[in-house]
Structure 1
Amino acid sequence: MPAGLPRPSEGPGSRYTARTATSRPRPSPAHRGHRTIAALSHRLTPRDIWLAWMLFEHRVLTTRHIQRLAFSSLRRAQRRLRQLHDAELVDSFRPLILRGSAPEHYTLGSAGADLLAAQAGCERKDVGWRPTHVSRIAYSPSLGHDVGVNDFVTRLAAGSSSSRPTGQATLWLSERSCARRWGDIIRPDAYVHWQDDSPAYPFPFFFEFDTGSQPLARVEAKLAGYHAFASTTATRPAVLMHTRTASREQALRHRLGNSARHLNLPIATTTADLTTNPSGPWWLPIHPPSRRLTLTELAAHWPHLSPAFGLDPTDADTPLTLPVPPQPPVAEPPDHHG
């Protein structure tokens, strides 16, 4: 797992230098040709439209995140993303980090916002897009945290290869979607259903990406909310906590141990030192104790888990509030648009 982006020392994004869409050249308007959504309609594939919705849901995805989910190679992803950037479906920036170079980070562009508004039957302002959208994300103090969460889940959502445990994420709700559904009780960084090759019900879990910036007491205080959620909704997802270092994981487990046992919460922890493949044998349950387990083994370790309350669509839902599938809707021909 990547070490993540540095947190600003003072003020929003003080350690970031964002190369935004204004400094990544696009074709001149005279040569761009296809600027309106109507004109783009014959050029956009189902995968392109799905990507616009994913960027709306998850705010920022890197080239590698997008490639894992939807492209057979990094070069194909880069080529198509360049075309979508030229069409203003996406915007992009590359933040300055202390060591090495960051990948291109993609956000929803102006044409992407118009597309989603047209599909949802609303105005662009209802999508929440403004001309400063990319800059607000690029200089956000939470950028490193948000990218870390999305890196973790895209690894799960991308499925598996023959060299690692099988399975993939079949549902992925962002922090914003979680807050919309359950924000009066809990505010996890993500909610995920992970499905292995067995026909059993998917493994449901709330995800907490711990950067080490919060005091341990504040992390412990979240457990009361998860207990209240399970008690009031009669549902029981697991809670998976990811830490940056092994020492932070050890300190977190020491702090949470008594509360997790007292509240009978299914909590497991891991660390970035281990989780190059998040579904592998890296998860250490707090209660009942065990060795490190895979996600499949965690499901057997906690046989009474159930999906969270509030996932079914209601009359109040709109296209802007419904979950976005973690995988594109159809496979693209290998020689067409990447």
Structure 2
Amino acid sequence: MPALPRPAHGPGSRYTARAATTRHRPTRHPDVAALARRLTARDLWLVHMLHEHRVLTTHQITRLAYTSLRSAQRRLHTLHQHAVLDSFRPLTQTGSAPEHYTLGPAGAALLAAHSGLDTAATGWRPTHTGRIAYSPTLGHDLGVNDLLTHLAAHTYTAPETGLPLWLSERSATRRWGDIIRPDAYAHYSDADHLLPFFLEYDTGSQTLARVEAKLTGYAAFTTATSTRPALLIHTRTASRDVALRHRLAPAARELGLAVASTSADFATNTPWDAWWSPFEPAARRTTLTGLAAHWPHLTPAAGLDPTDADTPLTLPVPPLPPAIGAEA
């Protein structure tokens, strides 16, 4: 079977044709009422997270919500057996991919009931997992989620830091899609600083000119809303990072944008460290906290407050579960 388009580096880079090989489980109609006595607050949080971010691997879920891989695997298997979650494991050229989890039929029904809406409002369909498994953007989506789950989970080892807000591409598009379409929007904070930022996760599939054209939209957003988040660009390789900086830095300075970039060659597992280079002459790589201190006039994006048009399904989902507690 021919390989589908994929990033040359990072999450998703080794995937060939996607295989939506959902593990066997008993065939039965989801009994949402019966699940009420089985599910924990962490399970409900995970249902909302998978609705928001579409797909998370076992390792990403463990990073956010469990103290060990084994306890995560046990619980995820149980949730899969009850159809709260679906899963697939993509084919790889070498080795094996981790299990990839999506929202299952019972999870969609549970989400709808918990939100007081019809199941159709969740957007879930029987083909939901298959569409994700065979999507040509799977590697890109996993890369975004991998970067931001590392940032969110950093609070477990550095309690003064955190990711209090993380909006997916879909949520960002719902709010600002008439001007910009970032891959994510998030807030990174420590005890003294807040870094609100849009994320562009660059896999190298777009031309430099097309990436440069996006800066005009971010400048228009800043002008239209009188708010100024940073723009962080994560690239696949250091050479791509150099090429982007050379092409985009003059436009970023002319438009007055606060832009910084890094690559997977540096920031794969510790994206909060000193891997980020501002698009400014002679700028040195610095941490996310350093970027916030370097740009003291950054402000969160407009349009984050709930409106009458919001439903429980469109409100932001906390990046971390209510509490880790005992492993169920």
Asked if TM exceeds 0.5, the reply is yes
Match of 1:310 in 2: 303
**CA drift at 1:160:** 4.4
Structure 2 CA distance, aligned partners of 1:299 and 1:209?
Answer: 20
Indicate conservation of the 8 Å contact 1:20/1:134, yes or no: no
- Amino acid aligned to 1:279: W
Match of 1:5 in 2: 12
Within the alignment, does 1:271 sit opposite 2:272 as a pair?
A: no
Match of 1:230 in 2: 222
**What whole-Å deviation, never above 9, does each CA across 1:28-76 have from its counterpart, x for those lacking one?**
65xxxx9401001000000000000000000000001100110001111
Shift of the 133–161 alpha-carbon distance from structure 1 to 2, 3 Å rule, reads closer
Residue 208 of structure 1: SS of its match in structure 2?
A: strand
Residue 97 of structure 2: SS of its match in structure 1?
A: coil
**CA drift at 1:329:** 1.5
**What whole-Å deviation, never above 9, does each CA across 1:118-169 have from its counterpart, x for those lacking one?**
112221111111111000000001000000000000000112465x796221
- Amino acid aligned to 2:248: L
Structure 2 CA distance, aligned partners of 1:291 and 1:261?
Answer: 16
Show structure 1 runs of 4+ deviating over 4 A: none
Match of 1:221 in 2: 213
Structure 2 CA distance, aligned partners of 1:113 and 1:159?
Answer: 29
Indicate conservation of the 8 Å contact 2:66/2:324, yes or no: no
Structure 1 CA distance, aligned partners of 2:92 and 2:296?
Answer: 43
Structure 1 CA distance, aligned partners of 2:154 and 2:52?
Answer: 20
**CA drift at 1:288:** 5.7
Question: Percentage identity across aligned positions?
Answer: 62
Structure 1's unaligned 5+ residue stretches are 9-14
Residue 228 of structure 1: SS of its match in structure 2?
A: helix
Match of 1:248 in 2: 240
Structure 1 CA distance, aligned partners of 2:105 and 2:27?
Answer: 16
Among 234, 245, 253, the residue aligned to 1:261: 253
Match of 2:3 in 1: none
Among 177, 183, 195, the residue aligned to 2:171: 177
Instruction: Map 1:1-338 onto structure 2 (within 5 A).
Output: 3-6=10-13, 15-21=16-22, 24-27=23-26, 29=28, 35-160=30-155, 167-196=161-190, 198-200=191-193, 202-275=194-267, 276-287=269-280, 289-334=282-327, 337=328
Match of 2:5 in 1: none
Structure 2's unaligned 5+ residue stretches are 1-8
Structure 2 CA distance, aligned partners of 1:330 and 1:295?
Answer: 26
Match of 1:11 in 2: none
Question: Could you tell which deviates more after superposition, 208-217 or 286-295?
Answer: 286-295
Structure 2 CA distance, aligned partners of 1:297 and 1:94?
Answer: 38
Question: Could you tell which deviates more after superposition, 280-289 or 147-156?
Answer: 280-289
**CA drift at 1:6:** 4.2
TM-score using structure 1 length: 0.91
Indicate conservation of the 8 Å contact 1:282/1:294, yes or no: yes
Shift of the 238–165 alpha-carbon distance from structure 1 to 2, 3 Å rule, reads farther
Structure 1 CA distance, aligned partners of 2:247 and 2:305?
Answer: 35
Structure 1 CA distance, aligned partners of 2:159 and 2:207?
Answer: 34
Residue 42 of structure 1: SS of its match in structure 2?
A: coil
**CA drift at 1:316:** 1.0
Indicate conservation of the 8 Å contact 2:14/2:92, yes or no: no
Corresponding pairs, count: 319
Structure 1 CA distance, aligned partners of 2:169 and 2:30?
Answer: 32
Structure 1 CA distance, aligned partners of 2:62 and 2:170?
Answer: 23
TM-score using structure 2 length: 0.93
- Amino acid aligned to 1:225: G
Residue 244 of structure 2: SS of its match in structure 1?
A: helix
Match of 2:4 in 1: none
Indicate conservation of the 8 Å contact 1:6/1:97, yes or no: no
Structure 2 CA distance, aligned partners of 1:289 and 1:264?
Answer: 17
Residue 253 of structure 1: SS of its match in structure 2?
A: helix
Structure 2 CA distance, aligned partners of 1:245 and 1:36?
Answer: 47
**CA drift at 1:97:** 2.0
